[in-house]
Amino acid sequence: MSPDVSSEFLALQQALAGRYSIERELGRGGMGVVLLARDVALDRLVAIKLLPRPLAANPESRDRFLREARTAAGLSHPNIVPIHAVEQQGDLVFFVMGFVDGETLKERVARAGPLSPRAAMKVMQEVAWALAYAHQRGVIHRDIKPDNIMLERATDRTLVTDFGIAVRGRPGPGTGEVVGTARYMSPEQALGEEVDARSDLYSLGATVFFALTGRPPFEGANLPAIITQQVSKPAPPVLSLRPELPARLAETVDRCLRKDPAERVQTGDELARIAGELRGRDLRAPPLVRSFLRNAQVTTMVVLATLLGGQSVSVGNRGVSASGGLGIIGTILVFQLLFVARRLLREGYAFEDIRTALLAEAQVQREEADEMRSGKWIRRLNDVWHRVWAGRFGRWFFRVAGWRLKKPERRAIASADATELVLGRSVLAAWEALPEAERAQVRDVPDVVTRLENEAEALRARGQTGERLAVTVAALENIRLSLLKLRAGSGTLDDLTTWLERAREIGEHVDRRIAAAGEVKGLLER
């Protein structure tokens, strides 16, 4: 037998021949061996977690593994790794789950260092969504840690995995059972006391602490030393290790790490909302679009620096003369940008796609400037390149870049964002294109858009993707159409005002329904 092929591999493959084709081992731990396999019928990659044979031979361990796997299999959420099947065949006990092409949060930090504040906020928000969903169904994870958070390579989506020690409902107090990972477990979990949703949120706070600093809140030479600190010692403020972090982000992480559960953020929904407010709006633009944005910013700064400070002065028989220009570096950057623009046009992108990405990036940089308390002149300098490329010059540049290019048969998809976010950016772009006098008469368009976006996002997070979501998104669509008709001369401000009023009514109705659902949930949890 090859040393690379384990006995578990051979036994499981023989049992599953014709259904799954096992390719290789992905990893192993105390609670199982994880194998990469291919689902033959559906022709897709899956991961199979096999209970080690010594544990499988123990009826109590086997039953618990199967029970908890079936509990996790009942969860269906975009930020939870799905479980497709739970089975036992003789002494083989295993479950089949979705394969995530990516890396764990622990691997990401080890490879690339601590996350940026915005990346950490994204992880916090998406894990909080997953936990809120599980908690609403009475499932407590009990082992949230960097190893159990996956980051998908293609989309950078965050997924929670390994509900291997999850429990349905709350274990009774005084059980004395201590499970989980010491560095990330809550004080009450470390003491074997009753745990609820707030215990998972403590673990998420400790995980985000690690993501931001590269280390957990507590370290120790051995397990008892770490547990002693978890129980008795306050967690260090995250700003003490990374002082440049935004204050509100640091406060949120510190609040999750309070010893008293009553002082923490109380629900996953609440934590996701806070993280969303901190994070702001992201544009998940494809790599080619992001490449253009980076090149455009660098090129603009280099050209400005050259024009402002790159002139040379010489004195000769004919007097004093000045000369200057883009220089070699500036010229290279402009040609490189032209090349990327042509590539974008060949791929099916248009100037409006790039403009949307530019406006989204401008909003991100303004939020970062607010957090950093940047001065007025720094803000203006940062805004220059957005205004240049999102305006007439950008449109002219893409017209030049497209000279003699054949128009592609199919437009590219510029963003993987939720529909309401794409629509929202389109509405704001149409509103900003109005004459100033008309824009002033409907100045509340941005506020209405933000409200509808937030409500649609909240509905998605709760899994409510039916009629309420459709009505909310339709309200955004009608505002966009009214703006486009107004620009084309076939609509009026009165039409737009009517749709804005209807959108407000829809927003108030959705707010009431979400609040009512929250109240019902609170009553059921008492």
* Contacting residues for 323 by C-beta, under 8 A, at least 6 apart: 311, 312, 314
Residue 45 bridge partners (DSSP):
38
Buried b (16+ CB within 10 A) or exposed e, 341-380: bbebbeeebbbebbbbbbbbbbbebbbbeebeebeeeeee
Tell me the three state secondary structure of residue 267: coil
Residues 6 or more apart in contact with residue 217 via CB below 8 angstroms: 183, 206, 209, 210, 235, 236, 257
Question: What is the rounded CA–CA span in Å between residue 468 and residue 474?
Answer: 10
Instruction: Classify 42 as helix, strand or coil.
Output: coil
DSSP string, 316-349: ETTEEEEE--SHHHHHHHHHHHHHHHHHHHHTT-
Rounded to whole angstroms, what are the CA distances from 78 to 70, 81, 82, 132, 451?
A: 18, 8, 9, 12, 23
Residues 242 and 217: beta-carbon distance below 8 Å: no
User: Is residue 392 classed exposed, middle or buried when 0-12, 13-18 and 19+ CB atoms within 10 A define those classes?
Assistant: exposed
Of the residues 39, 91, 143, 495, only one is catalytic, namely 143
Cβ distance 425 to 359 under 8 Å? yes
- Determine the Cα–Cα distance for residues 48 and 523; give it in Å rounded to an integer: 39
Taking the chain, what is the end-to-end CA distance rounded to the nearest angstrom? 57
Cα 486 from chain centroid (whole Å)? 36
Q: Is 254 part of the annotated catalytic residue set?
A: no
For 22, phi then psi, to 5°, come to -80, 130
Contacts of residues 334-337 at CB distance under 8 Å and 24 or more positions apart, as own/partner, are: 334/299, 334/303, 336/295, 336/299, 337/292, 337/295, 337/296, 337/299
Residue 110 neighbours by CB under 8 Å, 6+ apart: none
By annotation, the residues acting in catalysis are 143
